[in-house]
Amino acid sequence: MRPLVIENHPLAALARRWSRHTELTPHDRDALLAMPFTRKAYSKDGYIVREGQQTTECCLLLRGFAFRQKLLSNGTRQIISIHIPTEFVDLQNGLLGTADHSVQSLDRCEVAVIARPVILEVASSYPNLRMAMWIDTLIDGSIFREWVVNVGRRDARARIAHLLCELALRLEQIEAGRHGMFDFPITQEQLADCTGLTAVHTNRTLQSLRKDGLIQLTARTLTVLDWDGLREVGDFDELYLHHQAGTGAR
Amino acid sequence: MLPPQSVLEHMNPFEHPFAQWLEQLEHFGRLPAADRQAVLDLPHRLRRLDAGAYLVREGDIPRHCAVLAKGYAFRQKLTGSGARQIMAVCIPGDAVDLQNMFLDVSDHSVQLLTQASVADIPREALQQLVRNRPAVGTAVIAVTLVESSILREWVVNVGRRDSRARIAHILCEFAVRLETRGMIHDGGFELPMTQEQLADATGLTSVHVNRVLKSLEVDGLISRRRRYIHFDNWRALQDVGDFSRRYLHVEDHDIIDEAS
């Protein structure tokens, strides 16, 4: 399996991903790579952003995974999204100020911390980078919408299958997996919090997906054994991931 | 491309179909005068449409972006098993499909909740505006980010709140959003949604929604006259709904409290 390390310049992978949906000139690319940043590492469950915090920076995931979550007054937690390397976990904090949710490290992760004025300056001086940033936020929004559908109207088996399909495809897009095998260190409790289920229900559902020969999920690895089968159970259509996005922007 | 409407029609900025949208764009900072004008001058075609009309269908490749000048709309998706989930409600002044400017194919449908007046902007015109005017570009991104924040809260709402909290939460959300557009009257508002639509927005059945609305009424939190919802106890309703307005990114004042 290929390790999730970004070669060369830490921001080069972001430039590569953005080029897929927005045409970047060498000038844009240079500006992107010239953004000053500091590296910061987090251990499992470490807080990258806390709800209510006044934030002055944005974090780009370099290695590992992170998730957005909210704690409720009834003591439960809802995970709102999972983030993979080359994604900003809190671009909204560059523009909106107070963090309306928390971001935590899923396992271990490393981020590039970029100051808000840097983000704003790049967004204002480089139209293509502004577009790329915006397309990212639009795709984020599309994924959030799909999560509302997932927890709102799908049964437990479909919810879990849908989530696993989404993660597999997103990881594939950044070339983080091969032959349906992905390094993905998620716990059953975290999966439950992504799908609005209990841990017991999640465990039972995973077992049934495994028994049907659709997936294998160990502590660190997700293997999709039957892609078509998993898609069907998960009522999954990847349109909302907009991996073909950008054609309209040119 | 559509021609800009005559300047004469736009003498009163409050009657301009983009007036409320512009106000929303300026929420995080006033735009330079030339940028404001450029927004108001966007070419567009006004359409009056009936409740139920589709603005965008899942799978469409839209050529226009629609701004709701008047009326309400909702975003929805059907699951493979035929169930419907409403993911967002758009209120007057919202641009309903900015995402279609750059994303390839529409990933969901947008349908009108009420009769509405809709301004269609050709997507090339909007792309040019965002490209050439950084302040407008940043404002549009900020509005998109707030929309995402609301979506996140909806994931939480259907994922981890019980039915009573879900309904209370959605009522509080509407109240605060409508308040920002000056649409709260006498401590309440007109909710242009059927119980079935409320159910589809909260992942419940309509029978369940009906029961919850009645219980909120019996407990003295709200009262209803047809579709008009009055907040009898705004603070308690927020508690039941586990509601904090932080995710809406609006100022922290409580007009409803004064009125109730």
Check the CA dihedral B161-B167-B171-B177 and report its sign.
positive
Contacts of B245 in chain A (CB under 8 A): none
- Per-residue pLDDT reduced to its tens digit, B52-100: 999 999 988 888 999 999 999 999 999 999 999 999 999 999 999 887 7
Burial B215-243 (b: 16+ CB within 10 A, else e): ebeeeebbeeeeeebbbbebebbbebbbb
Structure tokens at A178: 């091969």
Q: How far is B11 from chain A (nearest CA, A)?
A: 31
SS3 state of residue A150 = helix
Contacts of B156 in chain A (CB under 8 A): 70, 72, 78, 80
Contacts of B165 in chain A (CB under 8 A): 74
**Residue A127: closest CA among chain B residues belongs to which residue?**
B131
CA dist., res. A121 & res. B111, Å (int): 37
> Among A200, A212, A195, which Cα is nearest to A156's?
A195
Closest Cβ–Cβ partner in B75, B101, B249 for A145 = B75
Q: What is the mean pLDDT of residues B132-150?
A: 92
**Which residue type does A54 have?**
Q
**Residue B125: closest CA among chain A residues belongs to which residue?**
A249
pLDDT for A246: 63
CB contact under 8 A, B138 and A120: yes
Q: Which residues contact A113 (CB under 8 A, 6 or more apart)?
A: A37, A38, A39, A40, A57, A58, A59
CB contact under 8 A, A235 and B81: yes
- A80 or B130, greater pLDDT: A80
Q: What is the mean pLDDT of residues A71-77?
A: 93
Contacts of B84 in chain A (CB under 8 A): 153
Burial B118-132 (b: 16+ CB within 10 A, else e): bbbbbbebbbebbee
Q: Flag whether pLDDT at B182 surpasses 90.
A: no
- B9 or A223, greater pLDDT: A223
Contacts of B132 in chain A (CB under 8 A): 127
CA dist., res. B150 & res. A92, Å (int): 12
Closest Cβ–Cβ partner in B58, B77, B102 for A138 = B102
Contacts of A73 in chain B (CB under 8 A): 242
Q: Flag whether pLDDT at B12 surpasses 80.
A: no
Closest Cβ–Cβ partner in B147, B161, B247 for A141 = B147
Residue B105 binned pLDDT confidence (cut-offs 50, 70, 90): confident
- B253 or B37, greater pLDDT: B37
CA dist., res. B187 & res. A169, Å (int): 48
Are A80 and B150 within 8 A, CB to CB? no
Structure tokens at B146: 């707030």
Q: Which residues contact B190 (CB under 8 A, 6 or more apart)?
A: B227, B228, B229
Q: What is the mean pLDDT of residues B187-216?
A: 96
Side-chain half-sphere CA neighbours of A22 within 13 A: 24
**Residue A53: closest CA among chain B residues belongs to which residue?**
B246
Q: What is the mean pLDDT of chain A?
A: 91
> Among B193, B155, B156, which Cα is nearest to B171's?
B193
- Per-residue pLDDT reduced to its tens digit, A92-101: 877 787 899 9
pLDDT for A7: 53
pLDDT for B1: 40
- Per-residue pLDDT reduced to its tens digit, A201-218: 999 999 999 999 999 988
CA dist., res. A198 & res. A202, Å (int): 6
Contacts of B80 in chain A (CB under 8 A): 158, 235
CA dist., res. B58 & res. A137, Å (int): 19
Interface test with B, best of A93, A153, A163, A241 (most B CBs within 10 A): A153
Residue A56 binned pLDDT confidence (cut-offs 50, 70, 90): confident
CA dist., res. A243 & res. B136, Å (int): 26
Q: What is the mean pLDDT of residues A134-144?
A: 92
pLDDT for B102: 74
Contacts of A146 in chain B (CB under 8 A): 77, 107
Q: Flag whether pLDDT at B254 surpasses 80.
A: no
Q: What is the mean pLDDT of residues B25-49?
A: 95
Side-chain half-sphere CA neighbours of A78 within 13 A: 24
CB contact under 8 A, A100 and B152: yes
Are A237 and A249 within 8 A, CB to CB? no
Structure tokens at B110: 């947008």
Q: What is the mean pLDDT of residues B223-234?
A: 94
CB contact under 8 A, B108 and A145: yes
Q: Flag whether pLDDT at B6 surpasses 50.
A: no
**Residue B83: closest CA among chain A residues belongs to which residue?**
A153
pLDDT for B141: 87
Task: Specify the pTM.
Answer: 0.91
- Per-residue pLDDT reduced to its tens digit, A150-199: 999 999 999 999 999 999 999 988 888 877 889 888 999 999 999 999 99
Closest Cβ–Cβ partner in B61, B103, B141 for A95 = B141
Question: Rounded to whole angstroms, what are the CA distances from A27 to A15, A31, A130, A189, A249?
Answer: 12, 6, 14, 45, 19
CA dist., res. A197 & res. A204, Å (int): 11
pLDDT for B8: 39
CB contact under 8 A, B151 and A141: yes
What are the backbone angles phi and psi of residue A8, rounded to the nearest 5°? 55, -130
pLDDT for B220: 97
Percent of chain A predicted with pLDDT > 70: 95
Closest Cβ–Cβ partner in A72, A98, A141 for B160 = A72
This model of the complex carries an ipTM of: 0.90
CB contact under 8 A, A153 and B107: no
pLDDT for A139: 92
Closest Cβ–Cβ partner in A68, A95, A246 for B142 = A95
CB contact under 8 A, A248 and B101: yes
- A9 or A159, greater pLDDT: A159
**Residue B139: closest CA among chain A residues belongs to which residue?**
A95
Q: How far is A96 from chain B (nearest CA, A)?
A: 7
Are A41 and A108 within 8 A, CB to CB? yes
CA dist., res. B178 & res. A126, Å (int): 35
Structure tokens at A211: 């028994």
pLDDT for B71: 95
Are A64 and A105 within 8 A, CB to CB? yes
Contacts of B153 in chain A (CB under 8 A): 70, 100
